[in-house]
Amino acid sequence: MSKVHVTTRVNGDPVEFLCTPEQTLVDVLRDTLDRTGTKEGCSTGDCGACSVLLNGRLVCACLVLAVESEGAEVTTIEGIATEEGLHPIQEKFLEHAALQCGICTPGFIVATKALLDKHPEPDEETIRYWLAGNLCRCTGYDKIIRAVQDAATTLAHEA
C-alpha cells in the first residue's frame, strides 16, 4: 500500500510523517513518532487508554486514522506537563495514589484535562460520566475521582 504524507502538529511542534491509510493515530504516535505515552488497550473505543485531544476535542486515537490528522493539532500526554514541571492534574494523581500499574493513567489525565478545561468545577457525577469511557482495572476509580476533584480545586485557586 502506498504511503501518504501527513503534516500535523503534535503538542505544538510541527510534525511530518508517512503512513498507510490503515494506520491509526495511536499507531503513528507510538511506532513512527516515538510518543509512547499514549497507550493502546482495546483498539475499539472502549477503554480510553488512547485518549488524545484532536483540535482540542477528546477522542480515542485508536479510532482516528493517522491521515485524518492532516493539518490538525494533536495533544498527547507528553504535552500536558510544562518545562516548569508536572501539571497539577499529574501531581494530584501521584498524591492520591490514583494509579497502580499505570496503563490507564495517560488516558485518564488527558481526559481530565479536557474535562477541567470545559467544566472547571465539576461535581462528582459530572466527573464520573465524563470519565466513563476510561477504564481502570486496578484502582477501583475512587482515588481517581478524588485526584480529579483535588486537581479542580487547585486549578481554581491558581486561576
Ligand X SMILES: Cc1cc2nc3c(=O)[nH]c(=O)nc-3n(C[C@H](O)[C@H](O)[C@H](O)COP(=O)(O)OP(=O)(O)OC[C@H]3O[C@@H](n4cnc5c(N)ncnc54)[C@H](O)[C@@H]3O)c2cc1C
- 31 near another protein, rule: CB under 8 A: no
With CB under 5 to 8 Å by kind, the binding choice for 65 among another protein, ligand FES, ligand X, none is: another protein
CA distance 26 to 51: 9
- 60 near another protein, rule: CB under 8 A: yes
Report the 10 Å Cβ neighbour count for 78.
Answer: 16
Residue 75 φ/ψ, nearest 5 degrees: -115, 125
> Comparing C-alpha atoms, which of 95, 91, 75, 159 is closest to residue 121?
159
User: Shortest gap between Cβ of 107 and another protein (angstroms)?
Assistant: 9
Q: Which is nearer to another protein, 33 or 62 (CB)?
A: 62
User: Shortest gap between Cβ of 85 and another protein (angstroms)?
Assistant: 27
CA distance 37 to 49: 10
Footprint of another protein (CB under 8 A): 1, 4, 21-22, 24, 43-46, 48, 51, 54, 57-60, 63-65, 67-68, 111, 114-115, 129-134
